[in-house]
Structure 1
Amino acid sequence: MRKGTNPSKADHKMEISSTHRVILSVYIPELKSDYFKDAKTIFKYCIESLLNTVHADTRISIIINGCCEEVTQLIYDYQKSNQLIDQVFYTRENLGKINAIYSIVKSNLEPLITISDADVMFLPDWQNQVEQVFVDFPEAGMVSPVPSSKGFLYSTASTMYYGLFKGKIKFRNVQDPEGLINFQKSVGSNLYQKIHLEKYLVVSNGINEAVVGCGHFVATLRKEAFEAAPTKVCEFRILGNSDEDYVDEPNDLAGFLRLATLGNYAYHLGNSPQPWMEEKLQQIINSSPASASLEIPEAQAFSKTQYKIGKFLTRLLFNKFRKQYFSYLGVNEPY
């Protein structure tokens, strides 16, 4: 038998004071094997750098995605001591990165959502720099604090349309080549040639410039960018084009730009701690507090027709006639 009236019926509309949510999916099943033995240390660099670089209008969600007991307890300890961590989701089995992220995305209202791997070190001012790109480019739907010289190759049809018909696409000098070098070291691969460390492709609109394309190990998206994502559950825990299908392509299909900041404001750490990481973390902790959140303008998405035009031009200028097009833009070396 039910007595009285549920109080929530009188206050049925949800309202939030936060403007930016950060989602960390953590998968550290054990700490003994070579691959995971230092994962706890790397995660501590990640969460502590995040807590020391976000503004007060941020909320943090952590998914315990099949973690061992020691890491699980560490995450709950962080939640108890940090009010910005307002959500911790626990699952005994590894749901996969995408399914874990989407369990949070679909249940929160913040206009901006940053998704990040648990091996990222956030640098001071990353959030303000990312939000500034959304302010200056209302058409942006996905912005990373880590630029990539090869980011233009993937899911940038809407960005291409914008660059050719509303703004301008050009090459400019890489602002922080050390950031690119650190990233390729962290993944253990020589991703970039000399020219990639010197020049990257940017789009400008007379107000600001941003790098064309970005990676997805850390990126901020408008909430609307997820609306074009597949509705079915992702079948892959990792790989299988899951990031592309559920993050990168939906943003492009929704008619939004895929961009990155000119400077490098986060590091991908990999799974092997280095002495510089502890030093950098101490610098982050001692840095000035993050500035207030920016007011993000309403989304301005392109139409499906404009996306298709951009898709055609991307294939034409970034693939079939890349050498000629990039030569026209001033880069004559193979890129």
Structure 2
Amino acid sequence: MRIGINPEKNNKEIELNNYHRIVIPVYIPHFEGYFAQAFTVFKLCIESLLLTVHSKTRITIYNNNCHADVKEYIDQKYSESELIDQVFHSKENLGKINAILASVKGNLEPLITITDSDVFFKQNWQKAMEDLMIDFPQAGMICPVPNSKAVSQFVKNNWYFGLFKSKLKFEPVSDPQAMIRFDDSLGNAKSLLKPIHLEKYLVIYNKKKNAKAVMGGGHFVATLRREVFDKGTNEPAFIKIVGGVENKFIDIPNEEMGFLRISTVDNYAFHMGNSIEDWMHDELALLKKEQTMPQHSSSDFKAKPISKIGRTIGFIIQKLIARNTTIKLKVLNFLGLNSKDF
């Protein structure tokens, strides 16, 4: 029998004091083979993150059936840091996307950063992402790691906006060494980058804001508008990390909603992979605890998606470039690149 009235019934509105949520799914089942150094990598990820975020940030860690020592570490960090306000423990590995969806759906922040557990965050990464989200209200997804090759996937809105509403232009890569480091971290037998990719990337401008960003971006770490999750698919993911599952739940909703997919011009994060290297500790030593008060609020991040007509035009342009080599070369030349290798 219920006695009395629940006092929370009078508190109808939820007061949101934060505006940026970071979600980290982690899966480290043991410490052998592929996962031998993964725990140390994860610790570097958390340490770099806690040093570089502002006070209006909150962090969710989703434990996808990790080893007991990893679980203990997560609980310890939860107790120590007010920034880590949510921890979920699953006795089964439900996969990256389901961990993200479960974490995002129950939170209210307008900005959601999703990140793998092997990402190292550099100083000022968060300010760069938030400033770019304001400078490009058409953007729905921003990556802090520019990639010259990310010019062809899920960027139809970029083509329309850059060619008809603002400007597209090839410019020198600001930090080619960081791009090499990212390529090395993937562990591929052969580099994905050609020399031209280390020299130039395609830059998209917003002339009204005097701002620029790199065309395209990855999703091993990315900041998204929460609308991408709210209005995207409500289905669960039945595949863990392969088979285009990230495309279905992140990339396609972002594009279909009319948002740009861009990256910062400078490099603000590193992909560490599953092994420790000396440079990681060197980079950690350079970090200082973020003391700057955030300059933004939830109301600053208003979205201006591309119109349906613009999306259609962008789709046509993207298809023509992908299917016709002659058109592709003419477009590249028009944008300031004289190379057939891009």
What's the offset of the Cα at 1:291? 4.9
Letter in 2 for 1:54: V
Name the residue aligned to 2:302.
Answer: 298
> Counterpart in 2 of 1:192?
193
Partner SS state of residue 134, structure 2: helix
Do the aligned residues in 1 keep the contact of 2:51 with 2:290 (CA within 8 Å)? no
After superposition, give the CA deviation of every residue in 1:212-240 in whole Å (9 maximum; x if it has no partner). Answer: 11000000000112234222111111111
Whether 1:11 aligns to 2:7 is no
Q: Quick one: distance in 1 between partners of 2:220 and 2:284?
A: 19
Q: Residue 145 of structure 1 contacts residue 266 of structure 1 at CA under 8 Å; is this kept in 2?
A: yes
Contact preservation (8 Å) 2:174, 2:265: yes
The answer on 1:311 being equivalent to 2:315 is: yes
Query: Would you say how many aligned residue pairs link Structure 1 and Structure 2?
Result: 333
Structure 1, 11-20 or 290-299: larger mean CA deviation:
290-299
In structure 1, runs of 5+ residues without a counterpart are: none
Q: What corresponds to 1:27 in structure 2? A: 27
Q: 1:287 to 1:63 in 2, by over 3 A?
A: closer
Shift, 1:197, TM fit = 0.5
Question: What secondary structure is seen at the aligned counterpart in 2 of 1:113?
Answer: strand
One-letter identity of the residue aligned with 2:103? I
2:280 aligned to which of 237, 257, 277: 277
Partner of 1:131: 130
The structural deviation recorded for 1:249 is 1.2
The one-letter code matched in structure 1 to 2:27 is Y
Unaligned runs of 5+ in 2: none
**Most deviating of 293-302 and 216-225:** 293-302
Query: What SS is found at the alignment partner of 2:168?
Result: strand
Return the offset for 1:304: 2.8
Q: Secondary structure at the match of 1:151?
A: coil
Question: SS at 1:52's partner residue?
Answer: helix
Classify 1:146/1:290 alpha carbon distance in 2 versus 1 (closer, same or farther; 3 Å): farther
Residue of structure 1 equivalent to 2:228: 225
Contact 1:253–1:304 at 8 Å: present in 2 too?
no
Counterpart in 1 of 2:291?
Answer: 289
Q: Distance in 2 between matches of 1:122 and 1:318?
A: 34
Kindly indicate whether the alpha-carbon contact (under 8 Å) linking 2:129 and 2:264 is maintained by their aligned counterparts in 1: yes
Q: Which secondary structure does the structure 2 equivalent of 1:90 belong to? A: strand
Corresponding letter in the other structure for 2:44: Y
* 1:254 paired to 2:257: yes
CA contact (8 A) 1:53 1:290 kept: no
Q: Secondary structure, in 3 states, of the residue corresponding to 2:34?
A: coil
Trace 1:179-218 onto structure 2 (pairs within 5 A).
179-189=178-188, 190-206=191-207, 207-218=210-221
* Paired amino acid for 2:174: Q
Question: How far apart are residue 30 of structure 1 and its match?
Answer: 0.6
Q: Deviations over 1:72-121 (max 9, x none)?
A: 10100011100000000010100000000000111110000000000000
User: Which residue number corresponds to residue 2 of structure 2?
Assistant: 2
1:267 aligns with 2:273: no
- Amino acid corresponding to residue 68 of structure 2 in structure 1: E
Could you tell me the percent identity over the aligned residues?
Answer: 44
Structure 1: how far apart are the matches of 2:16 and 2:81? 18
Q: 1:228 to 1:322 in 2, by over 3 A?
A: farther
Work out whether residues 52 and 126 of structure 2, in 8 Å CA contact, stay in contact via their aligned partners in 1. Answer: yes
Alignment check: 8 A CA contact 1:79 1:86 kept: yes
| CA–CA separation in structure 2 for the residues paired with 1:307 and 1:276 | 42
Which range moved further: 2-11 or 316-325? 316-325
Provide the rounded CA distance (Å) in 1 between the counterparts of 2:294 and 2:313: 38
- Which aligned pairs between 1:48-59 and structure 2 lie closer than 5 A? 48-59=47-58
User: Which residue identity lines up with residue 194 of structure 2 in the other structure?
Assistant: Q
C-alpha displacement at 1:293, in angstroms?
Answer: 4.2
Contact preservation (8 Å) 1:121, 1:268: yes
| Alpha-carbon distance change, 228 to 307 in structure 1, aligned in 2, over 3 angstroms | farther
Between 242-251 and 122-131, report the one with greater CA deviation: 242-251
Greater than 4 Å deviation, 4+ residue runs: none
Tell me the distance in 2 between the aligned counterparts of 1:240 and 1:12: 42
Q: Does 1:236 align with 2:239?
A: yes
Q: CA deviation at 1:322?
A: 1.6
| 1:17–1:57 CA contact under 8 A, matched in 2 | yes
Q: Give the CA deviation at 1:289.
A: 3.3
Once the 2 structures are TM-superposed, how far is the Cα of residue 290 of structure 1 from its aligned partner? 4.7
